[in-house]
Amino acid sequence: MKERKIIKQYIQNNKLNIEKIMEDFTPYIYTIISNKNLALKEEDIEEIISDVYVAIWKNRTNLDKNKEMSAYIGGITNNIFCKKIRKLKNEIDIDDYKNNLYDIESVETKVENTEKSDLVINEINNMKQEDKTIFISYYYHSKSIKQIAKEINISEEKVKSRLFRIRRKLKKVLERRGYNYG
C-alpha cells in the first residue's frame, strides 16, 4: 500500500520544504493534467505545475498539517487547470482553432467536469477519515470492497453501506449546484 504523505511531513523547522514537495508530487500533478485529455501545449502544462507550487507557497501558513498532501495538491491542480482552460478559451483565435482542432464545446465540457471534480474533492476532504479512506480506496485506487473491508477492519456490508451514503451525499451536493442526474 502506498505511504500516505501528510502535509506536516513537509514542514521542517517550521518551514515548508517546497523542494521536497516538488520532488514528490510533480509527476502526480503532471498525471492529473494529462488525464484531462486536452491538447495542452507542454509550456501550458509546465505553467500549471509552477502555478500549483506558487499557490502552495502563498498558502503555506494556512495549511491543515494533518491533511494528505496529495488531496490538497489534487484540489489546487484542478482549480488552476480550470482557470487556465478559461483563459485559453478566451485567447483562442481562429487560426489556433483551425490548426489545433480546438473544440470549444469540448473545453466547456472539460471545465464543467473539472468544476464537478472540485466539488467532489472538497466534499471528500471534509469527510470523516474512515469514509474518505473507503471512497478513495474504492474509486481512486480501484480496490475491491472485500480488500477495503479487510484493510480497515470492518464488514463488507458496512463498506457497501458507506459507499452508498457517500454517493448519495455527493449526488445531492452536485444537484444543489445545478448538475442534474435525472
Q: What residue spans define the domains of the chain?
A: 1-126, 127-182
- For the residues 97-111, what does the mean pLDDT come to? 54
Q: Position 77: which residue type? A: T
Query: Taking phi first (over 0 means left), then psi (-120 to 50 degrees means alpha), and beta for anything else, what does residue 5 get?
Result: beta
- For the residues 85-103, what does the mean pLDDT come to? 56
- Convert the pLDDT of each residue in 24-75 to its tens digit: 888 888 888 877 756 778 888 888 889 988 888 888 888 778 888 888 888 8
Q: Which CATH architecture has domain 127-182?
A: Orthogonal Bundle (1.10)
Residue 179 grid cell: 448538475
- Rounded distance, CA 14 to CA 64, Å? 13
% of the chain beyond a pLDDT of 70? 82
- For the residues 110-115, what does the mean pLDDT come to? 73
Does residue 104 surpass a pLDDT of 70?
A: no
Residue 7 grid cell: 502535509
Tell me the pLDDT of the chain averaged across its residues. 80
Model confidence pTM above 0.75? no
User: Higher-confidence residue: 31 or 105?
Assistant: 31
Angle formed by the axes of helices 145-152 and 156-176, to 10°?
110
